[in-house]
Protein backbone atom coordinates (compact mmCIF):
# COMPACT_ATOMS: atom_id res chain seq x y z
CA UNK A 1 0.00 0.00 0.00
CA UNK A 2 2.61 2.51 1.07
CA UNK A 3 4.57 2.18 -2.17
CA UNK A 4 1.41 3.29 -4.03
CA UNK A 5 0.82 6.44 -2.00
CA UNK A 6 0.62 8.97 -4.83
CA UNK A 7 -1.69 6.86 -7.09
CA UNK A 8 -3.93 6.27 -4.06
CA UNK A 9 -4.09 9.96 -3.27
CA UNK A 10 -5.01 10.78 -6.85
CA UNK A 11 -7.70 8.11 -6.79
CA UNK A 12 -9.19 9.43 -3.57
CA UNK A 13 -9.15 12.97 -4.92
CA UNK A 14 -11.46 12.07 -7.81
CA UNK A 15 -15.26 12.10 -7.52
CA UNK A 16 -17.02 8.93 -6.43
CA UNK A 17 -18.79 6.79 -9.04
CA UNK A 18 -21.62 4.42 -8.26
CA UNK A 19 -19.89 1.50 -9.93
CA UNK A 20 -16.79 1.96 -7.77
CA UNK A 21 -18.61 2.23 -4.45
CA UNK A 22 -17.92 -1.37 -3.52
CA UNK A 23 -14.20 -1.07 -4.26
CA UNK A 24 -13.19 1.92 -2.15
CA UNK A 25 -14.45 4.01 0.78
CA UNK A 26 -16.90 6.82 0.17
CA UNK A 27 -14.85 9.74 -1.13
CA UNK A 28 -16.50 12.29 1.16
CA UNK A 29 -15.80 10.14 4.23
CA UNK A 30 -12.11 10.00 3.36
CA UNK A 31 -11.92 13.74 2.75
CA UNK A 32 -13.70 14.60 6.00
CA UNK A 33 -11.55 12.16 7.95
CA UNK A 34 -8.37 13.73 6.65
CA UNK A 35 -9.50 17.03 8.16
CA UNK A 36 -9.38 15.60 11.70
CA UNK A 37 -6.47 15.07 14.09
CA UNK A 38 -7.13 13.51 17.49
CA UNK A 39 -5.37 12.72 20.74
CA UNK A 40 -5.84 9.41 22.52
CA UNK A 41 -4.84 7.44 25.60
CA UNK A 42 -2.48 4.51 25.45
CA UNK A 43 1.11 3.44 24.92
CA UNK A 44 0.20 1.05 22.10
CA UNK A 45 -1.69 1.39 18.83
CA UNK A 46 -4.48 -0.91 20.03
CA UNK A 47 -4.79 0.64 23.51
CA UNK A 48 -7.80 2.75 22.55
CA UNK A 49 -10.22 0.56 20.53
CA UNK A 50 -12.11 3.50 19.06
CA UNK A 51 -8.88 4.93 17.69
CA UNK A 52 -8.47 1.89 15.43
CA UNK A 53 -11.92 2.56 14.00
CA UNK A 54 -11.09 6.26 13.65
CA UNK A 55 -8.10 5.33 11.51
CA UNK A 56 -9.51 2.38 9.57
CA UNK A 57 -13.14 3.39 9.13
CA UNK A 58 -13.21 7.16 9.60
CA UNK A 59 -9.86 7.76 7.87
CA UNK A 60 -8.66 10.44 10.28
CA UNK A 61 -5.70 12.38 8.97
CA UNK A 62 -3.48 12.36 12.04
CA UNK A 63 -2.89 11.91 15.74
CA UNK A 64 -1.14 14.06 18.33
CA UNK A 65 1.03 12.54 21.06
CA UNK A 66 1.27 13.70 24.69
CA UNK A 67 3.39 12.65 27.64
CA UNK A 68 0.88 13.67 30.33
CA UNK A 69 -2.87 13.09 30.59
CA UNK A 70 -4.44 16.33 31.85
CA UNK A 71 -8.03 15.14 32.53
CA UNK A 72 -6.88 12.31 34.79
CA UNK A 73 -3.73 14.07 36.06
CA UNK A 74 -1.78 10.97 35.08
CA UNK A 75 1.85 10.90 33.90
CA UNK A 76 0.92 7.99 31.61
CA UNK A 77 -0.38 8.96 28.19
CA UNK A 78 1.47 8.06 24.94
CA UNK A 79 5.17 8.31 25.77
CA UNK A 80 7.23 5.94 27.90
CA UNK A 81 10.48 5.35 26.01
CA UNK A 82 12.02 5.66 22.56
CA UNK A 83 11.44 2.01 21.67
CA UNK A 84 7.81 2.20 22.84
CA UNK A 85 7.13 5.35 20.79
CA UNK A 86 8.60 3.72 17.68
CA UNK A 87 6.33 0.69 18.14
CA UNK A 88 3.35 2.97 18.71
CA UNK A 89 3.99 4.97 15.56
CA UNK A 90 4.57 1.84 13.48
CA UNK A 91 1.32 0.38 14.75
CA UNK A 92 -0.65 3.52 13.99
CA UNK A 93 0.74 3.87 10.48
CA UNK A 94 0.12 0.18 9.88
CA UNK A 95 -3.62 0.74 10.37
CA UNK A 96 -3.85 3.71 8.00
CA UNK A 97 -4.86 3.51 4.36
CA UNK A 98 -3.46 7.02 3.88
CA UNK A 99 -0.32 7.79 5.94
CA UNK A 100 -0.99 9.70 9.14
CA UNK A 101 0.44 12.94 10.37
CA UNK A 102 2.04 11.90 13.67
CA UNK A 103 2.35 15.19 15.54
CA UNK A 104 3.87 16.38 18.78
CA UNK A 105 4.66 19.62 20.62
CA UNK A 106 8.44 19.45 20.90
CA UNK A 107 9.43 23.10 21.05
CA UNK A 108 12.25 22.74 23.56
CA UNK A 109 12.68 23.87 27.14
CA UNK A 110 9.47 23.58 29.15
CA UNK A 111 7.28 22.71 26.16
CA UNK A 112 8.76 19.31 25.63
CA UNK A 113 6.85 16.02 25.39
CA UNK A 114 10.02 13.95 24.96
CA UNK A 115 11.65 14.56 28.33
CA UNK A 116 15.06 13.52 29.68
CA UNK A 117 13.28 11.67 32.51
CA UNK A 118 12.11 9.17 29.88
CA UNK A 119 15.51 8.84 28.27
CA UNK A 120 15.33 11.57 25.64
CA UNK A 121 18.04 14.23 25.16
CA UNK A 122 17.67 17.57 26.95
CA UNK A 123 16.56 20.61 24.97
CA UNK A 124 16.78 24.38 25.37
CA UNK A 125 14.00 26.93 25.12
CA UNK A 126 13.29 29.27 22.23
CA UNK A 127 13.95 32.21 24.57
CA UNK A 128 17.44 30.89 25.33
CA UNK A 129 18.23 30.54 21.63
CA UNK A 130 16.80 33.97 20.86
CA UNK A 131 18.95 35.62 23.50
CA UNK A 132 22.03 34.02 21.98
CA UNK A 133 20.84 34.71 18.43
CA UNK A 134 23.67 32.54 17.18
CA UNK A 135 22.98 30.55 14.04
CA UNK A 136 25.30 27.68 14.98
CA UNK A 137 23.71 27.24 18.42
CA UNK A 138 20.22 27.29 16.97
CA UNK A 139 21.15 24.92 14.17
CA UNK A 140 22.56 22.42 16.66
CA UNK A 141 19.43 22.59 18.82
CA UNK A 142 17.12 22.30 15.81
CA UNK A 143 19.10 19.44 14.29
CA UNK A 144 19.02 17.54 17.58
CA UNK A 145 15.24 17.86 17.79
CA UNK A 146 14.79 16.95 14.13
CA UNK A 147 17.01 13.88 14.42
CA UNK A 148 15.13 12.73 17.52
CA UNK A 149 11.75 13.02 15.82
CA UNK A 150 13.07 11.30 12.71
CA UNK A 151 14.37 8.40 14.81
CA UNK A 152 10.94 8.00 16.42
CA UNK A 153 9.15 8.27 13.04
CA UNK A 154 7.23 11.33 14.26
CA UNK A 155 6.71 13.31 11.07
CA UNK A 156 5.26 16.60 12.36
CA UNK A 157 6.24 19.08 15.07
CA UNK A 158 3.97 21.89 16.23
CA UNK A 159 6.99 24.17 16.19
CA UNK A 160 8.65 26.58 15.84
CA UNK A 161 6.61 29.06 17.85
CA UNK A 162 6.85 32.41 16.07
CA UNK A 163 4.89 34.45 18.62
CA UNK A 164 6.62 37.70 19.58
CA UNK A 165 7.55 38.12 23.23
CA UNK A 166 5.77 41.45 23.48
CA UNK A 167 4.40 40.60 26.94
CA UNK A 168 7.06 38.79 29.01
CA UNK A 169 4.41 38.17 31.70
CA UNK A 170 2.20 36.29 29.24
CA UNK A 171 1.27 33.10 31.18
CA UNK A 172 1.33 30.77 28.17
CA UNK A 173 4.10 32.25 25.96
CA UNK A 174 6.51 34.67 27.64
CA UNK A 175 6.61 33.07 31.08
CA UNK A 176 7.17 29.64 29.54
CA UNK A 177 10.06 30.97 27.38
CA UNK A 178 8.36 29.81 24.18
CA UNK A 179 9.14 32.94 22.15
CA UNK A 180 12.52 33.57 20.54
CA UNK A 181 12.28 37.34 20.94
CA UNK A 182 10.14 40.47 20.83
CA UNK A 183 12.05 41.36 17.66
CA UNK A 184 10.38 39.89 14.55
CA UNK A 185 13.68 39.73 12.68
CA UNK A 186 15.23 37.57 15.40
CA UNK A 187 12.14 35.35 15.44
CA UNK A 188 12.28 34.98 11.67
CA UNK A 189 15.98 34.07 11.66
CA UNK A 190 15.61 31.53 14.43
CA UNK A 191 12.46 29.97 13.03
CA UNK A 192 13.98 29.67 9.54
CA UNK A 193 16.80 27.55 10.92
CA UNK A 194 14.32 25.22 12.60
CA UNK A 195 12.30 24.94 9.41
CA UNK A 196 15.41 24.11 7.37
CA UNK A 197 16.64 21.47 9.83
CA UNK A 198 13.19 19.90 10.07
CA UNK A 199 12.96 19.72 6.29
CA UNK A 200 16.37 18.06 6.08
CA UNK A 201 15.16 15.35 8.47
CA UNK A 202 11.78 14.84 6.79
CA UNK A 203 9.87 16.45 9.66
CA UNK A 204 7.03 18.86 8.84
CA UNK A 205 7.11 22.11 10.84
CA UNK A 206 4.00 24.01 11.90
CA UNK A 207 4.33 27.73 12.65
CA UNK A 208 2.13 29.00 15.50
CA UNK A 209 0.01 30.73 16.85
CA UNK A 210 -1.50 32.89 14.07
CA UNK A 211 -2.08 35.88 14.11
CA UNK A 212 -0.05 36.18 17.32
CA UNK A 213 -0.44 35.05 20.93
CA UNK A 214 2.58 36.78 22.42
CA UNK A 215 0.79 39.91 23.64
CA UNK A 216 -2.00 38.10 25.49
CA UNK A 217 -2.53 38.35 29.23
CA UNK A 218 -4.52 35.09 29.46
CA UNK A 219 -4.14 31.45 28.41
CA UNK A 220 -6.55 30.23 25.71
CA UNK A 221 -6.38 26.75 27.24
CA UNK A 222 -8.26 28.13 30.22
CA UNK A 223 -10.30 31.15 29.18
CA UNK A 224 -11.56 33.54 26.53
CA UNK A 225 -8.54 35.65 25.56
CA UNK A 226 -8.95 39.15 24.15
CA UNK A 227 -5.84 40.75 22.61
CA UNK A 228 -7.62 43.72 21.00
CA UNK A 229 -5.80 46.26 23.16
CA UNK A 230 -2.38 44.55 23.16
CA UNK A 231 -1.89 43.03 19.69
CA UNK A 232 0.00 44.84 16.92
CA UNK A 233 0.53 44.16 13.22
CA UNK A 234 4.20 43.57 13.98
CA UNK A 235 3.14 40.12 15.21
CA UNK A 236 2.39 39.17 11.61
CA UNK A 237 5.92 39.88 10.40
CA UNK A 238 7.48 36.44 11.04
CA UNK A 239 4.72 34.88 8.93
CA UNK A 240 5.11 37.47 6.17
CA UNK A 241 8.87 37.00 6.14
CA UNK A 242 8.83 33.21 6.10
CA UNK A 243 6.04 32.92 3.53
CA UNK A 244 7.82 35.42 1.28
CA UNK A 245 10.91 33.18 1.53
CA UNK A 246 8.92 30.20 0.30
CA UNK A 247 7.46 28.64 3.46
CA UNK A 248 4.38 26.60 2.50
CA UNK A 249 4.09 23.79 5.07
CA UNK A 250 1.55 24.51 7.81
CA UNK A 251 0.37 27.19 10.22
CA UNK A 252 -1.60 26.77 13.45
CA UNK A 253 -4.18 29.34 14.45
CA UNK A 254 -4.61 30.94 17.86
CA UNK A 255 -7.92 31.08 19.70
CA UNK A 256 -7.31 34.75 20.58
CA UNK A 257 -10.04 37.31 20.00
CA UNK A 258 -9.04 40.55 18.29
CA UNK A 259 -11.87 42.98 17.56
CA UNK A 260 -9.61 44.94 15.23
CA UNK A 261 -9.48 41.91 12.92
CA UNK A 262 -12.90 40.38 13.61
CA UNK A 263 -15.49 41.88 15.94
CA UNK A 264 -17.38 38.60 16.36
CA UNK A 265 -15.11 35.55 16.53
CA UNK A 266 -11.65 34.48 17.71
CA UNK A 267 -9.01 33.87 15.06
CA UNK A 268 -9.57 30.12 14.64
CA UNK A 269 -13.22 30.76 13.79
CA UNK A 270 -12.67 33.92 11.75
CA UNK A 271 -12.81 34.02 7.97
CA UNK A 272 -11.44 37.56 8.12
CA UNK A 273 -8.31 36.30 9.93
CA UNK A 274 -7.66 32.91 8.30
CA UNK A 275 -8.83 33.46 4.74
CA UNK A 276 -8.48 37.23 4.75
CA UNK A 277 -5.19 37.93 6.52
CA UNK A 278 -3.29 34.64 6.33
CA UNK A 279 -4.27 33.47 2.87
CA UNK A 280 -5.11 36.61 0.89
CA UNK A 281 -2.98 39.28 2.54
CA UNK A 282 0.09 37.22 3.47
CA UNK A 283 -0.28 34.73 0.63
CA UNK A 284 0.01 31.47 2.57
CA UNK A 285 -1.15 28.49 0.50
CA UNK A 286 -0.33 25.58 2.81
CA UNK A 287 -2.29 23.67 5.43
CA UNK A 288 -3.98 25.54 8.27
CA UNK A 289 -4.40 23.71 11.59
CA UNK A 290 -6.67 24.86 14.36
CA UNK A 291 -5.29 24.94 17.85
CA UNK A 292 -7.02 22.37 20.05
CA UNK A 293 -10.76 22.82 19.56
CA UNK A 294 -11.41 21.55 23.09
CA UNK A 295 -9.60 24.45 24.76
CA UNK A 296 -11.81 26.70 26.89
CA UNK A 297 -11.44 29.75 24.66
CA UNK A 298 -13.52 27.82 22.10
CA UNK A 299 -15.41 25.08 23.97
CA UNK A 300 -16.41 27.45 26.76
CA UNK A 301 -18.25 29.78 24.39
CA UNK A 302 -19.29 27.72 21.37
CA UNK A 303 -21.15 24.49 20.90
CA UNK A 304 -19.24 21.81 19.00
CA UNK A 305 -21.27 22.10 15.80
CA UNK A 306 -20.99 25.89 15.72
CA UNK A 307 -17.25 25.76 16.35
CA UNK A 308 -16.69 23.22 13.58
CA UNK A 309 -18.89 25.15 11.15
CA UNK A 310 -17.13 28.43 11.83
CA UNK A 311 -13.60 26.96 11.73
CA UNK A 312 -14.15 25.28 8.37
CA UNK A 313 -15.89 28.40 7.11
CA UNK A 314 -12.89 30.43 8.23
CA UNK A 315 -10.56 28.31 6.11
CA UNK A 316 -9.10 25.88 8.65
CA UNK A 317 -8.03 22.63 6.96
CA UNK A 318 -7.40 20.33 9.94
CA UNK A 319 -9.30 20.48 13.22
CA UNK A 320 -7.36 19.27 16.25
CA UNK A 321 -9.17 17.52 19.09
CA UNK A 322 -6.33 16.79 21.48
CA UNK A 323 -8.54 15.04 24.05
CA UNK A 324 -6.23 16.47 26.69
CA UNK A 325 -8.02 19.53 28.01
CA UNK A 326 -10.71 19.36 30.71
CA UNK A 327 -12.29 16.11 29.50
CA UNK A 328 -11.51 13.02 27.43
CA UNK A 329 -13.93 11.99 24.68
CA UNK A 330 -12.96 8.82 22.80
CA UNK A 331 -15.90 9.38 20.43
CA UNK A 332 -14.86 12.86 19.34
CA UNK A 333 -13.73 11.84 15.83
CA UNK A 334 -17.00 10.00 15.22
CA UNK A 335 -19.02 12.95 16.50
CA UNK A 336 -17.04 15.53 14.49
CA UNK A 337 -17.30 13.40 11.33
CA UNK A 338 -21.08 13.21 11.68
CA UNK A 339 -21.30 16.96 12.22
CA UNK A 340 -19.23 17.80 9.14
CA UNK A 341 -21.19 15.34 6.98
CA UNK A 342 -24.43 16.92 8.23
CA UNK A 343 -23.15 20.40 7.38
CA UNK A 344 -22.24 19.26 3.87
CA UNK A 345 -25.59 17.54 3.38
CA UNK A 346 -27.46 20.67 4.44
CA UNK A 347 -25.41 22.85 2.09
CA UNK A 348 -23.93 24.87 4.96
CA UNK A 349 -20.49 23.67 3.87
CA UNK A 350 -20.00 22.90 0.19
CA UNK A 351 -18.24 19.81 -1.18
CA UNK A 352 -15.89 22.22 -2.96
CA UNK A 353 -14.83 23.68 0.39
CA UNK A 354 -13.99 20.18 1.66
CA UNK A 355 -12.09 19.49 -1.56
CA UNK A 356 -9.89 22.57 -1.10
CA UNK A 357 -8.73 21.39 2.30
CA UNK A 358 -8.30 17.84 1.09
CA UNK A 359 -6.05 18.89 -1.80
CA UNK A 360 -3.84 20.96 0.50
CA UNK A 361 -3.60 18.10 3.01
CA UNK A 362 -2.74 15.54 0.33
CA UNK A 363 -0.09 17.81 -1.13
CA UNK A 364 1.60 18.08 2.26
CA UNK A 365 1.24 14.35 2.92
CA UNK A 366 3.22 13.53 -0.19
CA UNK A 367 6.27 14.71 1.80
CA UNK A 368 5.79 12.09 4.52
CA UNK A 369 8.73 9.70 4.50
CA UNK A 370 7.54 6.23 5.42
CA UNK A 371 9.86 3.43 6.59
CA UNK A 372 10.74 0.85 3.96
CA UNK A 373 8.70 -2.32 4.13
Cα–Cα distance between 319 and 361 in angstroms, integer? 12
Cα–Cα distance between 15 and 287 in angstroms, integer? 22
* Closest residue by Cα to residue 229 from 214, 212, 215, 213: 215
Give the length of the chain: 373
- Residue 246: how many other CB atoms lie within 10 Å: 7
Count how many Cα atoms sit within 13 Å of the Cα of residue 111 in the half-sphere of its side chain.
Answer: 20
- Residue 248: how many other CB atoms lie within 10 Å: 15
Cα–Cα distance between 201 and 194 in angstroms, integer? 11
22 is catalytic: no
* Closest residue by Cα to residue 320 from 254, 231, 366: 254
Q: Per the residue annotation, which of 54, 221, 262, 292 is the catalytic one? A: 221
CA distances from 48 to 42, 77, 314 (A): 6, 11, 32
221 is catalytic: yes
Q: Per the residue annotation, which of 54, 262, 291, 292 is the catalytic one? A: 291
- 3-state DSSP assignment of residue 318: strand
Looking at the DSSP bridge assignments, the partners of residue 112 are 106
Cα–Cα distance between 69 and 76 in angstroms, integer? 6
What does DSSP assign to residue 272? I
What does DSSP assign to residue 176? G
Give catalytic residue positions: 221, 291
Amino acid sequence: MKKLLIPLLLLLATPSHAGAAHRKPDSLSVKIGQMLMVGFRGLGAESEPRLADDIRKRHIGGVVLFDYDVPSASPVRNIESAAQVQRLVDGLQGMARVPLFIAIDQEGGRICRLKPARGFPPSVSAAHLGRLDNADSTRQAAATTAALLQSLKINMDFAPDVDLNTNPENPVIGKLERSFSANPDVVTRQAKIFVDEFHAAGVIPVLKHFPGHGSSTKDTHKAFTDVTATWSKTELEPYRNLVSEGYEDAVMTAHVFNARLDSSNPATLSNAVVDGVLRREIGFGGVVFSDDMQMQAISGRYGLEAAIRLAIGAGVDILIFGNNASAYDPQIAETATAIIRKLVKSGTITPERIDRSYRRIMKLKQRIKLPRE
